[in-house]
Amino acid sequence: MTRTLNHVLIIRVCWRGQLEGRTHPSFAVHSVEPEPGWPVGRKGLMLASLWRQVVPAGSDGMLICDGDVVIDPHDMAAMTEAACGESDAVHTAPVKLWPRATGFPDWVWAHAPITGYGQDDVDDPVMFSFGFTFLPAWLIERAIKDGLDSWHYPNVDRGMWQTARDYSVPVRVVRDCHPRHLNY
């Protein structure tokens, strides 16, 4: 019998004013409000607040698609299958991030070994970005205890992978996913 996910929060995270475009029908779109002194707002506060207000006890986790990443139905099915198979792990899609978003001179993968983001496509990443990612419930709860509410962009993704690393949460690359980052 195939396992199914239990009450997964499925969100598309957009910055207020960002062109959101079309999205998979399962995703609820949530915007991060600008905040003085920060270019795009408090993403950590938004994620923690959503988790506390919307997700019932016993949920398996959160599936995030950033507003500048597009997926197709095959990507959604592959991610869901991966998360069903190992709901205690982080599952991240291999997304190429472009210089406009990263400030790097060339594209980099959204997953990487601890040595830093680059063009080495590794199967056992430590670092990951939210591009298209499943986060297990236990990790989200731990991040909330560790201060997710106060994490500002760009430290939300970093804070989450550091929390996963600190608590030995495995990170898996979902090879059957092929999302596209549109922030050239």
Q: Where are the domains positioned within the chain? A: 9-181
Contact (CB, 8 A) for 68 and 130: no
Element (H, E) at 76: helix 73-85
State residue 32's pLDDT score. Answer: 59
Those residues whose C-beta lies under 8 Å from the C-beta of residue 104, and which sit 6 or more positions away, are 97, 117
Q: Is the pLDDT of residue 62 over 80?
A: yes
The class level of CATH for 9-181 reads: alpha beta
Q: What is the DSSP string of 28-71?
A: EEEEEPPBTTBSS--HHHHHHHHHHHHPPTT--EEEEEETTEE-
Q: Which of the pair, 65 or 122, is modelled with greater confidence?
A: 122
Q: Is the pLDDT of residue 174 over 60?
A: yes
State residue 28's pLDDT score. Answer: 56
State residue 164's pLDDT score. Answer: 96
CA distance 134 to 8: 9
Q: What is the reported pTM?
A: 0.86
